[in-house]
Chain A
Amino acid sequence: MIPEIGHLCLFLALAVALAQGVLPLVGAQRGQASWMVLARPLAHWQGLFVAIAFVLLSASFVRNDFSVLYVASNSNSALPLPYRMAAVWGGHEGSLLLWVLMLNLWSVAVARFSARLPLPFAARILAVMGLVSVGFLLFMLLTSNPFDRLIPAAADGRDLNPLLQDPGMVIHPPMLYMGYVGFSVAFAFAIAALLGGNLDAAWARWTRPWTTAAWVFLTFGIGLGSWWAYNELGWGGWWFWDPVENASFMPWLAGTALIHSLAVSEKRGGFKVWTVWLAIVAFSLSLLGTFLVRSGVLSSVHAFATDPRRGLFILGFLVVVIGSSLALFAWRAPKVGLGQRFGLLSRESLLLANNMMLAAACGAVLLGTLYPLFIDALGMGKISVGPPYFDAVFALLMAPLVFVMGIGPLTRWKQDEAAPLVKRLAPALVIALVAALGVGAWAGRITLLTTGGLLMAFWIVASLAVDLKDKLLPAGSSFRQVGHRAGQIPLAMWGMLAAHLGVAAFAFGVAMVKTYETERDVKMGPGDSTEIAGYRFKMTGLREVPGPNYAAMQGTIEVSRGDRVIATLLPEKRIYRVQSNPMTEAAVDSNPLRDLYISMGESLPTGEWIVRVQYKPFIVWIWGGCLMMMAGGVLAMSDRRYRVKKAATAAARDREATA
């Protein structure tokens, strides 16, 4: 009975979504307030039905109801409860339901926090989100119903993909989807503004916190995915330029560009057409990612089981959503005026450069990801585009981007002078160069690529320091006022500082790992030892360890430096019983300066194992950098000017209520 109720809830949600997508939109066009005010309650009702459906699907997993096909395909009675919950989004159908749930969370959030928006604008936004939801609910009901029955029921389930049985994987998809789907809010804001013709600074200010929130989630989701791949895939890589990773990275790049472009739209009323376009593009790339993952068009480790009908449906949906919004853009954008003029050297021009480079990077990733498809479709053979292409293109595009990142925050809006800027920043450049070479000398090897990467990192830090120093301690001021001045810097500025420092930490981590990591594959049995980077690894034991739904071979490896034992690591090779997949559970000893990474490879007939030991300097800085970028986003969106408005509107509402 439970699955049937869940199925029914999806139908009800679809009906509500249709109403939410049509009535407020028509009402807004005709100026009928009675239809526009329907948007908020309808969004709540839709959210309620989708939430019930989601809870009911989870219930089927918790109860091990193997008469539900999706449960039987993705769970097993031996699977621990937390993973049974995570298995809800472990396959195609359930992850779609998660997608729709996230979309509804965002819709409800918009419905709740849009009190200060003009009614027609809020109505249009919620209608656009309702229409997007209609597409996904139809997709689920027509091709991918998670509540389909399996009659007769399976005795037991086929188990969750062992790769997904990891704590990181439990939260990675929800975070990633929150990010993906979050861009639907910026998209809906853009479409609503194009429809209503109210593309102004107020629009940009309303859009900003939502976009930043989505971007924070997406950053977290991508970072978590990378961290998971590092710990779980067993060979110590952290980014693979896999088509599906790229599918999440492209909206991130577009979203990053959007955040910066919105700054210009809010402060100077400029870049409006470009901002709207980026908002459409960021969400379109999220949808494209969904298509790539679920259609089987590209081969990827992440791909879901494919079905041509699904691919066709999403492609049709993509054409309707993206095609119609780009058509709307082509129709309305020419009427959007240009912003204020700005000089060749100004914060606007540098942000424009930032946007161009991010867009180019996004285009390069798109090209590399789809290139095999283009070549195949044109009958020119089968190829694959690998990391060398992406690494090279990225290094080339990031270098000027980071250079501009150092100058931008110090530059005035509208027009600035070159000479004083050069004077302020020249010491930063010198310090960065010395520091980059110094680190290279300390690490024992100076190469062009490392120096380039480190220079980027130190340049960001040094230029931010100059900026901060000028703000806290301007020429001729006294030390006593530093605290006061720090208090006057708006949170958004601290957010920018934190996020840019995050980029520096990230660049530093990448440069150090890429250059100074070492690894060794050795044959090891109990008693054997090996040495890399001054650390000694000794296998002291090898034993079989039973798990709830797997059997594992576990090595005990003692790590010592000099005479001191610093860690005992327990890498495992697991065989999951139901799917018989071997899985490598790497063991990592991590600190901010270096990771020691051990994974078990193949067993040899002699009873020994091929063990891979790796030394990875500063690798956690990569994820630390992501966390700092996120923190920056959170700070930026908690800026006073967003809260003050909210408080003011709340006060206004109270007055209305009492009046």
Chain B
Amino acid sequence: MNRYLLPLFGFLVLAGFLAFGLKLDPHEVPSPLIDKPAPAFSAAKLSQPDQRVTLGDLKGKAWVLNVWASWCAPCRDEHPLWVAYAKNSPVPIYGLNYKDKNEAGAAWLRQLGNPYAESLTDPDGRIGIDYGVYGVPETFVIDSQGVVRLKHTGPITPAVLRDEIDPLLKRLSQHG
């Protein structure tokens, strides 16, 4: 065979991989938490900073944990979706106000609407570390046994909400 053809073949193989790569999403990192118990926490409420909520308080019912912050621009993009979804949500949605100031967070909710049953505060990002938060917003679905069932990094889109999160929540609210 003509050895001068080798670069061409090598390149075509590479191009094949690149074409395949276009279909993959490198940002989609599987969370090691999936199907594992959610990390425990104890967090102050945003509305009443003297009261705390722990993971144990939320057991017995499936729920959504949405990590947000007033300084986070993509959170602003996804927020209306949660506000709309919260009206008919089969399970409660909890916010985690991540690395934020309470006043800033509360003002944000007053301005844009509050879809959360309650927002927990994580001013120093400690809970975020336990949950492996690396980009805000992030969304977790946790079932009634306290097991993480889904994690979405980055803003949710209407398609993700409709095709992934909503069916899962409906199932979880029916079967526990």
- Chain A residues engaging chain B, CB cutoff 8 angstroms: 273, 277, 280-281, 284, 291, 295-299, 308, 311-312, 315, 318-319, 322-323, 326-327, 329-331, 333-334, 370, 372-374, 376-377, 382, 575, 579-582, 602, 605
The residues of B that contact A377 with a CB separation of less than 8 Å are: 17, 20-21, 24
Contact in complex: B22, A382 (CB < 8 Å): no
Known: A298-B26, A372-B26, A382-B30. A319 touches B8 (CB 8 A): no
How far is the CB of B126 from the nearest CB of chain A, in Å?
Answer: 12
Main SS at interface, chain A:
helix
| Chain A residue, CB-CB nearest to B70 | A580
Contact in complex: B26, A582 (CB < 8 Å): no
Contact in complex: A312, B71 (CB < 8 Å): no
Known: A297-B26, A330-B7. A291 touches B18 (CB 8 A): yes
Chain B 3-21, CB within 8 Å of chain A: the 1/0 string? 0110110011011011111
Partner pick for B22 among A284, A295, A323, A374, CB 8 A cutoff: A295
| 15 sampled A-B residue pairs with Cβ under 8 A | A280-B7, A281-B7, A291-B18, A296-B22, A297-B18, A297-B24, A298-B21, A308-B22, A327-B8, A329-B7, A330-B7, A331-B4, A373-B18, A605-B123, A605-B124
Contact in complex: A373, B4 (CB < 8 Å): no
Known: A299-B26, A370-B17. A580 touches B8 (CB 8 A): no
Contact in complex: B17, A580 (CB < 8 Å): no
| Chain A residue, CB-CB nearest to B2 | A330
Contact in complex: B73, A318 (CB < 8 Å): no
| Chain A residue, CB-CB nearest to B12 | A323
CA distance in complex: A575, B18 (Å) = 37
Chain B contacts with A in 4-48, Cβ cutoff 8 A: 4-5, 7-8, 11-12, 14-15, 17-22, 24-30
Chain B contacts with A in 67-110, Cβ cutoff 8 A: 70-73, 99
CA distance in complex: A543, B22 (Å) = 47
Starting from the known contacts A329-B7, A377-B24, 11 additional A-B residue pairs (CB-CB under 8 Å) come to A277-B7, A280-B7, A322-B11, A323-B15, A330-B2, A373-B24, A382-B30, A580-B70, A580-B72, A602-B124, A605-B124
Contact in complex: A329, B22 (CB < 8 Å): no
Partner pick for B18 among A284, A315, A327, CB 8 A cutoff: A315
CA distance in complex: A296, B22 (Å) = 7
How far is the CB of B11 from the nearest CB of chain A, in Å?
Answer: 6
The residues of A that contact B4 with a CB separation of less than 8 Å are: 273, 329-331, 333-334
How far is the CB of A384 from the nearest CB of chain B, in Å?
Answer: 9
CA distance in complex: A537, B26 (Å) = 42
Contact in complex: B5, A330 (CB < 8 Å): yes
| Chain A residue, CB-CB nearest to B99 | A602
Contact in complex: B2, A323 (CB < 8 Å): no
Partner pick for A373 among B8, B12, B21, B73, CB 8 A cutoff: B21
Contact in complex: B24, A311 (CB < 8 Å): no
Chain B 108-127, CB within 8 Å of chain A: the 1/0 string? 00000000000000011000
The residues of B that contact A329 with a CB separation of less than 8 Å are: 4, 7-8
The residues of B that contact A579 with a CB separation of less than 8 Å are: 73
Known: A334-B4, A377-B17. A297 touches B11 (CB 8 A): no
The residues of B that contact A298 with a CB separation of less than 8 Å are: 21, 26
Known: A330-B2, A373-B17. A312 touches B7 (CB 8 A): no
The residues of B that contact A297 with a CB separation of less than 8 Å are: 18, 21-22, 24, 26
Contact in complex: B73, A580 (CB < 8 Å): yes
CA distance in complex: A329, B25 (Å) = 34
What are the 4 closest A-B residue pairs judged by CB atoms, nearest first? Answer: A297-B21, A326-B8, A299-B26, A330-B4
How far is the CB of A304 from the nearest CB of chain B, in Å?
Answer: 14
Known: A329-B7, A330-B4, A579-B73. A299 touches B22 (CB 8 A): no
CA distance in complex: A575, B123 (Å) = 17
| Chain A residue, CB-CB nearest to B7 | A326
CA distance in complex: A295, B23 (Å) = 10
The residues of A that contact B29 with a CB separation of less than 8 Å are: 382
How far is the CB of B1 from the nearest CB of chain A, in Å?
Answer: 10
The residues of A that contact B2 with a CB separation of less than 8 Å are: 330, 334
CA distance in complex: A315, B62 (Å) = 44
The residues of B that contact A284 with a CB separation of less than 8 Å are: 11
Most A Cβ at <10 Å: residue of B14, B26, B27, B99: B26
The residues of B that contact A376 with a CB separation of less than 8 Å are: 21, 24, 26
The residues of A that contact B12 with a CB separation of less than 8 Å are: 319, 323
Contact in complex: B8, A315 (CB < 8 Å): no
The residues of A that contact B22 with a CB separation of less than 8 Å are: 295-297, 308, 311-312, 315
How far is the CB of A190 from the nearest CB of chain B, in Å?
Answer: 13
The residues of B that contact A323 with a CB separation of less than 8 Å are: 8, 11-12, 15
CA distance in complex: A412, B130 (Å) = 63
How far is the CB of A369 from the nearest CB of chain B, in Å?
Answer: 11
Partner pick for A326 among B11, B26, B27, CB 8 A cutoff: B11
CA distance in complex: A465, B123 (Å) = 59
| Chain A residue, CB-CB nearest to B76 | A580
CA distance in complex: A155, B11 (Å) = 47
CA distance in complex: A421, B118 (Å) = 78
| Chain B residue, CB-CB nearest to A376 | B24
CA distance in complex: A373, B25 (Å) = 10
The residues of A that contact B17 with a CB separation of less than 8 Å are: 370, 373-374, 377
How far is the CB of A307 from the nearest CB of chain B, in Å?
Answer: 11
CA distance in complex: A139, B8 (Å) = 24
Partner pick for A315 among B5, B19, B25, CB 8 A cutoff: B19
| Chain B residue, CB-CB nearest to A297 | B21
How far is the CB of A140 from the nearest CB of chain B, in Å?
Answer: 19
CA distance in complex: A299, B26 (Å) = 6
Contact in complex: B21, A330 (CB < 8 Å): no
CA distance in complex: A317, B7 (Å) = 17
CA distance in complex: A281, B6 (Å) = 13
How far is the CB of B116 from the nearest CB of chain A, in Å?
Answer: 20
How far is the CB of B84 from the nearest CB of chain A, in Å?
Answer: 23
The residues of A that contact B73 with a CB separation of less than 8 Å are: 579-581
Most B Cβ at <10 Å: residue of A297, A334, A372: A297
Known: A312-B22, A377-B17. A299 touches B7 (CB 8 A): no
How far is the CB of A423 from the nearest CB of chain B, in Å?
Answer: 40
How far is the CB of B69 from the nearest CB of chain A, in Å?
Answer: 9
